[in-house]
Amino acid sequence: MNVSIENLAPCKKLVRVELDATAVDAAFDAVTKDYQKQAALPGFRPGKAPLPMVAKKYEAEIKDEAKRKLIGDNYRKAIEDKKLQIVGYPDIEEVQFGRGQALQFTATVETAPEFQLPEYKGLSATLETKSVTDADVDKALDLLRSQHASFNTVSRPLANGDIAVVNYTGTCDGKAITELAPTAKGLTEQKNFWIETEGNSFIPGFAAQLIGAKAGDKRTVNVDFPADFVTPQLQGKKGVYEVEVVEVKEKVLPVIDDELAKKFGAENLEKLKAGVRTDLENELKYSKSKSVRGQVVKALLEKVNFDLPETAVANETRNVVYDLVRQNTQRGVNRDIIEKSKDEIYANAAASAKDRVKLAFLVGKIAEQEKLQASQEDVIKRAQQLAVMYQMPFDQFIKDLQKRNGVNELYEQVLHEKVLELLEKNAVITETAAVK
């Protein structure tokens, strides 16, 4: 077998393979003998028909099988001999094939980029010095007790901290809001809608204009929709609401004591506090880890540049675009808006995809350098975590994973996690005073 390689572009090569006629004929003979073992021709017992008759009867099938086997086997051998790391699938074209002829074919392939692995230990990261305080625990307890708050109807005017139960209709630019944003029906009209007066619940500035109103009062409320408002069609615009206060409700919070603790499954208040503190410490630990990983990955990406396989970037770009469109659709963004923004979406997706593909190659090389591996036990544990996250029975999750050939993806996820752990563990972290 003769193999030659031509560089077509960065990460793209043309592999030419030639096999002499003797080897081709040997493959034809071997396939014909395999067909002879199964052939049932009139006048002969299965497996006893003469080879020439079998060759003639199954000529087309034998040729197809011989070609498939010869090209497949010799393509794999050529790639192995030349030590090429292939990304994706080859584009194979037959140049010459037939009994008594040398086999010639070409394979256009994309290869993994070649680059020198930069120093990946000792990457810098900065963290604010933070710890869980008693005030943090108290704040969390306040949030917990608000889950068991009661709401009593009162006859006095609405005060800060109360709940306003209202009927409203809204317009923007003199039109019903649904004319501008068809999916925003809830912003156009509601009956018996509850609005908290504290904070900026609902639309910023809305609740503050109701303070002092009593049940039965009517008010005109003017709002400015924020530039980052959840409904894109309303961003930066002004709205006018005609509001009727139906009821004023006073929010009554329960006492933080042992009885409240028992409602959350704790033995007493001290046990609840301890559990809350542990949860907050775990959240802080996760937040710090996420921050460090994000910083060291950014630093790693900036340390080296290399060409990326076009197909890998294109595939990843499609994945990112799909995710962005799905997220926007779930948020209620109109299809027309998405269509108008498609160029911007694609540009952002392409940039993100390049970083993700680049990181994948860096992670793979670091894993190889550090001899990191994803064991079957690691993958099973990861699958169990995902099954719980997606609220699926473990057996069903595995079956679905196998249907879409997703097992290799889990191995990659586990290996990716191991490399990020390594980068985080070896990062040089500088702590700064927390911003108050």
Express each pLDDT in 203-234 by its tens digit: 999 999 999 999 999 999 999 999 989 888 89
Q: Is 123 exposed, middle or buried (0-12, 13-18, 19+ CB in 10 A)?
A: buried
Express each pLDDT in 275-287 by its tens digit: 999 999 999 999 9
The answer to the question of residue 86 being in a domain is yes
Copy the structure tokens of residue 80: 């192995």
Domain containing residue 308: CATH number: 1.10.3120.10
Residue 434 predicted with pLDDT over 80: no
Based on the fold, state whether residues 302 and 411 are members of the same structural domain: yes
Instruction: Give yes or no for a contact between 374 and 342, defined as CB atoms under 8 angstroms apart.
Output: no
The answer to the question of residue 275 being in a domain is no
Express each pLDDT in 115-163 by its tens digit: 999 999 999 999 999 999 999 999 999 999 999 999 999 999 999 999 9
Copy the structure tokens of residue 113: 């980029």
The answer to the question of residue 263 being in a domain is no
Copy the structure tokens of residue 412: 């990659």
Based on the fold, state whether residues 329 and 414 are members of the same structural domain: yes
The answer to the question of residue 396 being in a domain is yes
Residue 435 predicted with pLDDT over 70: no
The answer to the question of residue 294 being in a domain is yes
Based on the fold, state whether residues 237 and 322 are members of the same structural domain: no
Based on the fold, state whether residues 36 and 160 are members of the same structural domain: no
The answer to the question of residue 127 being in a domain is no
Domain containing residue 55: CATH number: 3.30.70.1050
Mapping DSSP to helix (H, G, I), strand (E, B) and coil, where does residue 164 land? strand
The answer to the question of residue 186 being in a domain is yes
Residue 38 predicted with pLDDT over 90: no
The size of the chain, in residues, is 436
Domain containing residue 232: CATH number: 3.10.50.40
Average pLDDT over residues 359-386: 94
Average pLDDT over residues 397-421: 90
Based on the fold, state whether residues 71 and 156 are members of the same structural domain: no
Express each pLDDT in 297-348 by its tens digit: 999 999 999 999 999 999 999 988 888 888 777 766 667 767 777 888 888 8
Please give the span between the terminal C-alpha atoms of the chain, in angstroms, as a whole number: 71
Task: Give the range of the structural domain holding residue 210, as residue numbers without chain letter.
Answer: 150-252
Copy the structure tokens of residue 67: 């070609």
Based on the fold, state whether residues 357 and 426 are members of the same structural domain: yes
- In terms of C-beta distances under 8 Å and separation of at least 24 residues, what long-range contacts does 298-303 make, across chains too? 299/123, 299/124, 299/125, 300/118, 300/120, 300/123, 300/359, 300/362, 300/423, 301/355, 301/358, 301/359, 301/362, 303/118, 303/119, 303/120
Q: How many independent structural domains does the chain possess?
A: 3
Average pLDDT over residues 164-192: 92
- In terms of C-beta distances under 8 Å and separation of at least 24 residues, what long-range contacts does 22-31 make, across chains too? 23/70, 23/103, 24/66, 24/70, 24/97, 24/98, 24/99, 24/100, 24/101, 24/102, 24/103, 25/99, 25/100, 27/66, 27/69, 27/70, 28/62, 28/63, 28/66, 28/99, 31/62, 31/65, 31/66, 31/69
Sequence-distant (≥ 6) Cβ neighbours of residue 119 within 8 angstroms: 303
